[in-house]
């Protein structure tokens, strides 16, 4: 890993609603403004979810993503942007891949790729082998880098299958998400096994579900990894659930922990060089290899 800290900001997600927390950004302008505040606080990249502003339901539509991306790039044309390709609500390839067809100044640098099916508390996220490979193939053809999401050790292993098939290329970036009820738990054993089994030339961030976010962020900062942080994974500031968090508060806390550990923020420009991404400022994604 790099000595500098990758901060992967997840402002919205698919689950938090205004009823759950007034701090979650749902509408296009809200998401843009929250990302603006986050860039001022200090982030490396943003993992975006589109939502319908009226129903608050998740959306796959490229039209919504295009407005969000356009708004963000007006104030930060270098920020690394990842769009969600989640299968939790959308089952068809045409839906899940829709945002990958944005191009030019609206092209995302990265797209999330969950490496297997899994169960959350109340819903399944279905990611068949064919779906994963089809999404990976589209991203490779488009020059969009997969943000590899692994919730357990088997998902890490499946990434190596994609490598053998020539569907993903180094360097790789992983989000290791721990603490989900049906997957790897947020402890040192599960975390260490997943990190140890990553393919060569991998960079990674740790995420914790719910109250495990702070624990996994703290651990990752201490051992040299990156962090995934934001309301998508955790709406509370404290483990006792007495205070709802804002995204900026969660980011600022990460910076406090990083400072105590002597870790500096990795800028978007530095992350672009690390991941062989184009330079930004109108040029996005990865050069086709």
Give yes or no for residue 287 having a pLDDT over 90.
no
Query: Is the Cβ–Cβ distance between 122 and 133 less than 8 Å?
Result: no
Is the pLDDT at 2 greater than 70? The verdict is no
pTM: 0.97
Check whether the bond before 196 is cis (ω within 30° of 0).
Answer: no
Contact by Cβ (8 Å): 108, 81: yes
The chain-wide mean pLDDT, for the chain, equals 96
Percent of the chain topping pLDDT 70: 99
Question: Which ranges of the chain would DSSP assign to H, the alpha helix?
Answer: 28-41, 62-75, 93-96, 129-142, 153-164, 188-196, 212-223, 247-260, 268-274
> In this predicted model, what pLDDT tens digit does every residue of 65-90 receive, in sequence order?
999 999 999 999 999 999 999 878 88
Tokens of 199: 């393919």
CA quadruple 280, 282, 286, 287: dihedral sign: negative
In the chain the domains, ranked by start, together with CATH numbers, are 7-274 (3.20.20.70)
**Residue 44 burial by Cβ neighbours in a 10 Å radius (0-12, 13-18, 19+):** buried
With vertex at residue 104, the alpha carbon angle to CA 101 and CA 109, rounded to the nearest 5 degrees, is 70
Query: What whole-number percentage of the chain has pLDDT above 90?
Result: 94
What the block records as the tokens of 126 is 């279905």
Q: How far is CA 36 from CA 25, 54, 74, 282, in A?
A: 12, 22, 10, 18
List the helix and strand counts (H, then E) for the chain.
Answer: 9, 12
Q: Residue 56 — very low, low, confident or very high, per pLDDT cuts 50/70/90?
A: very high
pLDDT tens-place string over residues 145-172: 999 999 999 999 999 999 999 999 999 9
């Amino acid at each position: 890993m790099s000595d500098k800290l990758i901060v992967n900001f997840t402002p919205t997600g698919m689950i938090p609603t205004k009823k759950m927390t007034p701090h979650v950004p749902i509408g296009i302008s809200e998401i843009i403004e929250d990302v603006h505040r986050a860039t001022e606080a200090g982030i490396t990249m943003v993992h975006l979810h589109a939502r319908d502003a009226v129903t608050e339901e998740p959306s796959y539509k490229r039209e919504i993503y295009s407005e969000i991306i356009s708004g963000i790039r007006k104030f930060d044309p270098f920020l690394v942007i990842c769009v969600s390709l989640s299968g939790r609500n959308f089952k068809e390839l045409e839906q899940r891949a829709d945002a990958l067809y944005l191009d030019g100044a609206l092209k995302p640098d990265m797209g999330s790729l969950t490496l297997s099916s899994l169960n959350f508390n109340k819903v399944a996220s279905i990611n068949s082998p064919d779906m994963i490979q089809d999404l990976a193939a589209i991203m490779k053809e488009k020059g969009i880098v997969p943000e590899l999401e692994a919730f357990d050790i088997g998902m890490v292993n499946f990434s190596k299958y994609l490598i053998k098939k020539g569907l993903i290329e180094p360097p790789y970036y992983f989000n290791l998400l721990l603490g989900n009820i049906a997957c790897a738990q947020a402890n040192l054993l599960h975390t260490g096994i997943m990190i140890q089994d990553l393919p060569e030339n991998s960079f990674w961030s740790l995420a914790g579900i719910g109250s495990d976010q702070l624990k996994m962020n703290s651990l990752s900062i201490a051992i040299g990894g990156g962090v995934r942080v934001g309301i998508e994974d955790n709406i509370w500031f404290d483990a006792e659930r007495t205070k709802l968090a804002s995204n900026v508060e969660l980011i600022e806390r990460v910076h406090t922990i990083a400072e105590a550990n002597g870790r500096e923020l990795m800028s978007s420009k530095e992350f672009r060089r690390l991941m062989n991404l184009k330079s930004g400022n109108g040029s996005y994604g990865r050069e086709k290899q």
